[in-house]
Amino acid sequence: MNTQSRGAAFILGMFLCAGLVVLGFQISSAVIEYRQFERSVKVKGLSEQEFPADIVIWPIQYTVADNSLDALYASIETNTGLISDFLQQNLIPQADISVSAAAITDKSAQQYGGNATPAFRFTAVQTVTVYSGNISLVREVMGKLTELGKKGIVLNQNNYQANVEYIFTRLNDVKPSMIEEATTKAREVAEKFAKDSNSVLGKIKRASQGQFSITARDRNNPHIKKLRVVSTVEYYLSD
């Protein structure tokens, strides 16, 4: 009885081993086929285009100083009026002109600067801002700023707060065509890779759209914007 049991157990063990070998072969084959199916290539496509900006923000900043606060405010009012008149005479609408509150400093109240007595007790910085969609007109008027200097207005042109800003607001209008171009260029690269590797390009496995970047074309033409986007696409490959 024991001999028969051992024989039956041996035969059962043989069947189990054979089954495991077959199962292992099938699993191995499936893994190889899966990995072959998972062959892919990841490529990037670039789209770069230039567009004119559509909004300009032009801060015109000036400084006045006086020992009398009343006289200081009078100078601010006079200079702001001269700047506003200058802009409107050059066809910039009043609706495009705004005036911020003046930043006034009382130097006698400051606790630093040594014992030197300032030439003027009060100083004020005032900013008149042009916000316009007519960039060509505004740039033309910028070239005439010397006229304000001749009227005794001290402009703060080297102050970073007075830097001109150009804005591009039509990104949503151009985004679809640029993404399409970037994706098309990515596929061209993938097709070249597939051809060189004797493979066949398949469907898209995954894709991601990079962020759009908007920069000035160069520092001499900040009103012309360079838009750039990179799309990353991964394609399946097969033999």
Model pLDDT for residues 196-227, shown as the tens digit of each residue: 989 999 999 999 888 899 999 999 999 999 99
pLDDT in tens, 135-179: 999 999 999 999 999 999 999 987 788 899 999 999 999 999 999
Which residue(s) pair with 128 in the sheet?
Answer: 60, 99
Among candidates 134, 152, 171, which has minimal Cα distance to 54?
A: 134
pLDDT at 111: 59
In three state form, how does the secondary structure of the chain look? Answer: CHHHHHHHHHHHHHHHHHHHHHHHHHHHHHHHHHHHHCCEEEEEEEEEEEEECCEEEEEEEEEEEECCHHHHHHHHHHHHHHHHHHHHHCCCCHHHEEECCCEEEEHHHCCCCCCCCCCCCEEEEEEEEEEECCHHHHHHHHCCCHHHHCCCCEECCCCHHHCCEEECCCHHHHHHHHHHHHHHHHHHHHHHHHHHCCCEEEEEEEEEECCCEEEECCCCCCCEEEEEEEEEEEEEEEC
Does residue 5 register a pLDDT over 80? no
Residue 238: pLDDT band with limits 50, 70, 90: confident
Which residue(s) pair with 105 in the sheet?
Answer: 123
In degrees and rounded to multiples of 5, residue 63 shows phi and psi of -125, 140
Residue that has been written with the tokens 């028969």 in this structure: 4
pTM to 2 decimal places: 0.76
Integer Cα distance of 201 and 199 in angstroms: 7
